[in-house]
Amino acid sequence: MTKSSTRQSDHPPFAFVLFGGTGDLAMRKILPALYAAHRDGLLAPEGRIVAVANTALDTSGYLRWVGEHVKPHISGAAFDDSVWRSFLERMAYVVLDASQPEAFSVLRDALDTGRGRRIYYLATGPALFVPICRALASAGLTEGSRIVLEKPLGYDLESSNAINDAVGQIFNEDQIYRIDHYLGKEAVQNLLALRFGNSLFEPLWRREWVESIQITVAEELGVEGRGNFYDQTGALRDMVQNHLLQLLSIIAMEPPRSMDADAVRDEKLRVLRALKPLLGDEIRHNVVRGQYHVGAIKGASVCAYHAEQGVGQGSTTETFVALKAEVESWRWAGVPFFLRTGKRLAGRLAEIVVNFRPVPHSALGPTALRPGSNRLTIRLQPNESIRLSALAKQPGMGMTLQGVHLDLAFDQFFQQDRMEAYQRLLLDVIGGRLALFVRRDEQEAAWRWVAPIIEDWDGHASPPKPYASGTWGPAAASALLARHSTCWPEEEN
């Protein structure tokens, strides 16, 4: 194993119970993250991983399954065969139908031999969250434990509250970890450091100096075989209600008194509650929804959303959303926040762009008055970085201004390996750190804000606007920004 900054003996023992242990999320994200933590010496030697699913396998068969499905998601340089073998020694497998409470006695028997705090990770559909929690309680397996809930937590405000009410009857709020993996990304952590660790930006981080803020989370992929799930969810519920609003709340929050979990989450909650409601005609004026049609991604033809497996004919589910939000506070009044997310777009990209206002008067020509001349770009993926754009004099005669960049590429500046989002978040669950997880009142405030948009679309709204796969979405998303005399970054050249 590689050296870690702390000894294994400093890390608490645990029993990590992974429901949905044969599922896609477990194979692509959770188990690779646990392997990385094991490789880096960040898991206690006594820590155990118990995978739970209803696939008929014994433990040896499950370990072969894991070898086939998890290894492709671990980069070659990060994989070590001897470390992998020792990682598998932590694992056991329990065949269990999560909808049958009486079957949980098998899980209880498997856990009775273990040490440490029990952590239940529900990598299942939300319909199983409440049955699993109730079955765990009936089997006497909840005392002192922690539970991790994956998104989406419900379908709307009512269903989200129903799940939270039921889970809250069994687990205390400080036992519940609602995970949003974007909060574990290194660049998001650096956004907090940038804002609250440097006096340079704080005086500028307000309406007097910020013209607009853009948040983009774009995917090249389509629904990738998850048509049955996605057609009941859509981009607004899948991405805006959680990922994008969480990023917005971190950008717009006031400085917390400390980095304690509730201090940070209190400030995020204030932002979510200060979001100006979108109602009636405001929805149709400030929200764009789209759906991808045929097109090409990196030269390869791809099908329309309607042709995806599991998608209903004539479906009006959105695969793209762009909208304008406003935070009604003294710091941000009048500053538009433009949010955008979609599938089958021109590139894989997650970034936050803070556009500062141009100088009020320029003696150096019109270049200094051009929007976007002064800009801070925080890129979350694919390559985490921070870029500050400014103007400088071009060498030579005269005073010709040219855009220049100050770049911080984390992989070049910091020599140590970066920790992936899921690894950081899983270690926080094991260590009992809640700051990077969503509190119930945050989640409720986010659902409450998107609820009128959902109701409008379910009512009399027009169908999603079509856009060709491999583009940046429907033209209406560009028109939305044009009405505010700005544009998306890729449209500037």
Q: Give the pLDDT confidence of 443-489 residue by residue, as tens digits.
A: 999 999 999 999 999 887 789 999 999 999 999 999 999 999 899 99
Q: Which fold has domain 8-150?
A: Rossmann fold (3.40.50)
Confidence of residue 5 (pLDDT cuts 50, 70, 90): very low
Q: What is the pLDDT of residues 216-229, one digit of tens each?
A: 999 999 998 888 88
Residue 344 identity (one-letter amino acid): R
Q: Kindly report, as residue ranges, where domains of CATH 3.40.50.720 are found in the chain.
A: 8-150
Q: Kindly report, as residue ranges, where domains of CATH 3.30.360.10 are found in the chain.
A: 183-420+439-491
181 labelled binding-site residue: yes
Query: What's residue 447's pLDDT?
Result: 96
> Running DSSP on this structure, what letter comes out for residue 13?
P
> Running DSSP on this structure, what letter comes out for residue 55?
S
Cβ atoms of 60 and 89 closer than 8 Å: no
151 labelled binding-site residue: yes
Query: What's residue 365's pLDDT?
Result: 67
Q: Determine the average pLDDT of the residues in 148-170.
A: 93
Query: What's residue 114's pLDDT?
Result: 60
Confidence of residue 7 (pLDDT cuts 50, 70, 90): very low
Confidence of residue 423 (pLDDT cuts 50, 70, 90): very high
Which amino acids are annotated catalytic? 243
Spatial separation of the C-alpha atoms in residues 331 and 213, rounded to whole Å: 13
CA dihedral 180, 383, 287, 343 (to 10 degrees): -80
Spatial separation of the C-alpha atoms in residues 110 and 89, rounded to whole Å: 15
| Rounded percentage of the chain residues whose pLDDT exceeds 90 | 65
* Residue 492 token pair: 């500037």
* Residue 166 token pair: 């039921």
Provide φ and ψ at 172, rounded to 5°.
-70, 160
Q: What is the mean pLDDT of the chain?
A: 89
Q: Is the pLDDT of residue 3 over 60?
A: no
Q: List CB contacts of 202: < 8 A, sequence separation 6 or more.
A: 195, 196, 255
Output the CATH code of domain 183-420+439-491.
3.30.360.10
Q: Is the pLDDT of residue 192 over 70?
A: yes
Q: What is the pLDDT of residues 97-114, one digit of tens each?
A: 988 888 899 999 888 766
Which of helix, strand or coil describes residue 303? coil
Spatial separation of the C-alpha atoms in residues 360 and 16, rounded to whole Å: 57
Q: Specify the pTM.
A: 0.91
Query: What's residue 98's pLDDT?
Result: 86
Look-up of token digits 């696939």? 55
Q: Is the pLDDT of residue 402 over 80?
A: no
Query: What's residue 334's pLDDT?
Result: 96
Q: What is the pLDDT of residues 325-374, one digit of tens each?
A: 999 999 999 999 999 999 999 999 999 999 998 877 776 666 666 766 78
393 labelled binding-site residue: no
Q: What is the pLDDT of residues 256-282, one digit of tens each?
A: 999 899 999 999 999 999 999 999 999
Query: What's residue 333's pLDDT?
Result: 97
Q: Determine the average pLDDT of the residues in 242-256.
A: 95
Cβ atoms of 341 and 239 closer than 8 Å: yes
185 labelled binding-site residue: yes
Q: List CB contacts of 193: < 8 A, sequence separation 6 or more.
A: none
Query: What's residue 4's pLDDT?
Result: 42
Q: What is the pLDDT of residues 21-80, one digit of tens each?
A: 999 899 999 999 999 999 999 999 989 999 999 999 899 999 999 999 999 988 767 788
Q: Is the pLDDT of residue 249 over 80?
A: yes
Q: Is the pLDDT of residue 416 over 80?
A: no
**Helix, strand, coil percent values for the chain (each to nearest 5):** 40, 20, 40
Confidence of residue 6 (pLDDT cuts 50, 70, 90): very low
Confidence of residue 123 (pLDDT cuts 50, 70, 90): very high
